[in-house]
Each structure stands twice: as structure tokens, then as C-alpha cells.
């Protein structure tokens, strides 16, 4: 009985210390933010219903394909990634899967006013314009044309995407993921010889230098981000980077909630690869020590019977 009382005292003070050092201190150091709901409520809605066919024409007329590739529709990129990054700072995205990845309200606003939708207007102004020009219409009703383009992008978008593909399209042009062999230039290939490898590394270094010039900083490798930031933070950060890191160069990418979750899933898969192994082994080892304790207790009882 007395020992249980002592144990209760030990546990109480241990938990008190734990509570103070972990949850309490964290609540004091990190301001609470409301979870990002991915509704993009600060952006205006899509007033018109779009027509995908018309959108296909508009996207050509508006000159989108002057910078963007749509590989799935047989429209290759006009420049290689390194040259494009030299011109724009970052390689413009391929639009094949944009309709699947991004919120349609976000896409419409992005086309009309990219810096505003991306929440990077603190970095760009008239003397330093955002690389993607705003779309002023191809002559008809602007809202209708935007709606058509969005409808077109949605119509060509793949129905299913692997979490890794979502990451590559949405994040992989700025962020490396070296623990999964991903570079901002794509999957790191197998090299036949040292010359090939050196050539690739030069290209990569050039791209990263362009990126740094454009953003002011090199975007971090995301391999360990799941462990340094955690799921909750990442969901909020992807949804609205400015909310958690005011003034950051990272744009709001405009993913739908579902796709953002897939990005986090992928990050967890890379940064915490052994999760399944851990969850499998955990119960077995705990069970072993529970049995160990029971046997030890019975043995102790037997031995101490003689001395008490």
C-alpha cells in the first residue's frame, strides 16, 4: 500500500514536469492558429460555368503554352527546365494535372491575378513583376474565358494520382526530397559514368542558383520535414504559408485539401519510412515485458514468502 502511495507521488511529479516542459511550454512558444480549411474564402468565386472545348482554344489563344507545357495533350515545354528557370526564376509547371491538384476557385483567381492568389504580392510590384502575367482576356467575357480554361484543365486532368506524383507536380520544382532521390530537376537518374553525373550536377546547381536568386533563399529539402514540423503544421503551412511564416517566399500553392493530405502522406512515407515496422514490433515488445513483469512478480512473491 505504502509503495503504491510512493509510486503515485513519483508519477504525479513526473507528469507535472512533463506537462510543463511539453504541452504547456509549446502552447506558450507557438501561437495557436485556426486550422486552414482549404476553402480559399478570401478569393472570389467562379461566377460562370465553363466549357472545356472553348477552354482548349482559349488556352492556345491566350498564350499559356508559350511558357507551360501540357505533356498529356502532346504539348511539350518550350524550354528545358534549367533555361526556363533562368528566364522565370523557376520552371513553369506542366498543366496536365493542374485541374486535379488545385482548387478550381484558386485556379480561376490564379489566372486572373497570380501574385494575389499565390499570396506573394508582398514580393512583387510594378518594377518587379511576377513572372506569370495576369490574363486580361482573349477578347470575350473575361470571367467566361477563365471558367472555360478551368473547365478544360479539369477535363484533361487524371482521375487518379499517386501521392508521390502530387508532390512532384505541386512541390517538386522548388523542393528536393533527397531521401527519395528526388531533385528539383526530377528523379535523379542512374549515371553511366562520372561525366554524366557531373553534367547533371552542374544543371542542378544552375537550377538551384536560379531558384535562389528568384526566391531569395534556397527552399529546404523536405525529406525530414514531417518530423521537424509534424502533420498538423504542414497541413496549415501548405494551405497558407504566410499564416505560419510571415513574409516567406513560399507561395500558397492552392492545393485542394485532399491533395494537400496526399502530399503530407508522401512526406510521411519518406521521412518516417519505418512506421509500419514500428507499429508491428511495438505491441510484441510491450507484450513481452508485460509477461516478464507478471512472471517476475510471481517469482518475487514466492521468494519473499520465506523472508516476511
Partner 1 sequence: MAHFEKANSVGEWLDQRLAVNKLMKVMMTEYWIPKNINFLWAMGVVLMTMFTVLLISGIFLLMYYKPDTKLAFDSVNYTIMQEVYFGWLWRHMHAVAASVVFLVIYIHMFTAIYYGSYKRGREMIWISGMLLFVTFSAEAFSGYMLPWGQMSYWAAQVITNLFGGIPFIGDELVIWIRGNFYVADSTLTRFFMLHVLLLPLVIMGIIGLHFYSLRIPHVNNQEGEEIDFDAEAEKYKAGQKKESKVIPFWPVFLSKDLFVMGVFMIFYFYLVFYHYNFAMDPINFDPANPMKTPAHIYPEWYFLWSYEVLRGFFFDVGPIAAMDIGLAAFGIANVIFFLMPVLDRSPVVKPAHKRGPFFIWFWILVVDMIVLTIWGKLPPTGINAWIGFFATIVFLVSLLVALPAITKKEAERAGGAA
Residue ranges in contact with partner 1 by CB under 8 A: 2-3, 6-7, 10, 13-14, 16-18, 20-22, 24-25, 28-29, 178-179, 220, 223-225, 227-230, 273-274, 277-279, 281-282, 285-286, 289-290, 292-293, 296-297, 299-300, 303-304, 306-308
In the chain, helix, strand, coil percent, each to 5?
Answer: 60, 5, 40
Task: Let me know: does 118 contact 251? Beta carbons within 8 Å.
Answer: yes
CA 163 to chain centre: 10
Contact yes or no for 256/38 (Cβ under 8 A): yes
Kindly state the smallest distance separating residue 249's Cβ from partner 1, in Å.
14
For 75-97, letters b (16+ CB in 10 Å) and e give bebebebbebbbebbbbbbbbbb
Q: How far is the CB of 178 from partner 1 (least distance, A)?
A: 8
Would you say 184 and 207 are in contact if contact means Cβ atoms under 8 Å apart? Answer: yes
User: Which lies closer to partner 1 via its Cβ, residue 22 or residue 80?
Assistant: 22
Give the DSSP letter of residue 221: P
Q: Residue 1 or 195: which CB sits closer to partner 1?
A: 1
52-61 vs 142-156: helix crossing angle, rounded to 10? 110
Taking the complex as a whole, the smallest distance from the CB of residue 243 to partner 1 amounts, in Å, to 16
Nearer Cβ to partner 1 (53/278): 278
Nearer to partner 1, 28 or 41 (CB): 28
**Shorter beta-carbon distance to partner 1: residue 16 or 134:** 16
Distance of closest approach, residue 25 Cβ to partner 1, in angstroms: 4
Amino acid at each position: 500500500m505504502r509503495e503504491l502511495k510512493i509510486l503515485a507521488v513519483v508519477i504525479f511529479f513526473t507528469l507535472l514536469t512533463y506537462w510543463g516542459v511539453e504541452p504547456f511550454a509549446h502552447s506558450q512558444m507557438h501561437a495557436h492558429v485556426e486550422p486552414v480549411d482549404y476553402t480559399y474564402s478570401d478569393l472570389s468565386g467562379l461566377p460562370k460555368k465553363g466549357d472545356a472545348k472553348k477552354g482548349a482554344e482559349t488556352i492556345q489563344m491566350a498564350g499559356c503554352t508559350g511558357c507551360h507545357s501540357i505533356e498529356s495533350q502532346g504539348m511539350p515545354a518550350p524550354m528545358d527546365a534549367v533555361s526556363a528557370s533562368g528566364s522565370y526564376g523557376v520552371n513553369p509547371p506542366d498543366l496536365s494535372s493542374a485541374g486535379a491538384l488545385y482548387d478550381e476557385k484558386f485556379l480561376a483567381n490564379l489566372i486572373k491575378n497570380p501574385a494575389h492568389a499565390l499570396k506573394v504580392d508582398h514580393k512583387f510590384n510594378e518594377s518587379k513583376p511576377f513572372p506569370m502575367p495576369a490574363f486580361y482576356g482573349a477578347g470575350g467575357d473575361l470571367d467566361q474565358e477563365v471558367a472555360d480554361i478551368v473547365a478544360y484543365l479539369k477535363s484533361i486532368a487524371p482521375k487518379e494520382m499517386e501521392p508521390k506524383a502530387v508532390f512532384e507536380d505541386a512541390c517538386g520544382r522548388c523542393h528536393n526530397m533527397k531521401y527519395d532521390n528526388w531533385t528539383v530537376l526530377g528523379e535523379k537518374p542512374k549515371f553511366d559514368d562520372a561525366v554524366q553525373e557531373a553534367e547533371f550536377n552542374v544543371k542542378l546547381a544552375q537550377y538551384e542558383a536560379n531558384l535562389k536568386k528568384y526566391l531569395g533563399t534556397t527552399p529546404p529539402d523536405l525529406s525530414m520535414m514531417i518530423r521537424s514540423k509534424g502533420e498538423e503544421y504542414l497541413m496549415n503551412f501548405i494551405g497558407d504559408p504566410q499564416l505560419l511564416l510571415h513574409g516567406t517566399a513560399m507561395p500558397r500553392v492552392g492545393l485542394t485539401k485532399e491533395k494537400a493530405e496526399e502530399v503530407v502522406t508522401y512526406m510521411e512515407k519518406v521521412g518516417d519510412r519505418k512506421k509500419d515496422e514500428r507499429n508491428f514490433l511495438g505491441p510484441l515488445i510491450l507484450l513481452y515485458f508485460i509477461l516478464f513483469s507478471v512472471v517476475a512478480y510471481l517469482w518475487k512473491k514466492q521468494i519473499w514468502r520465506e523472508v516476511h
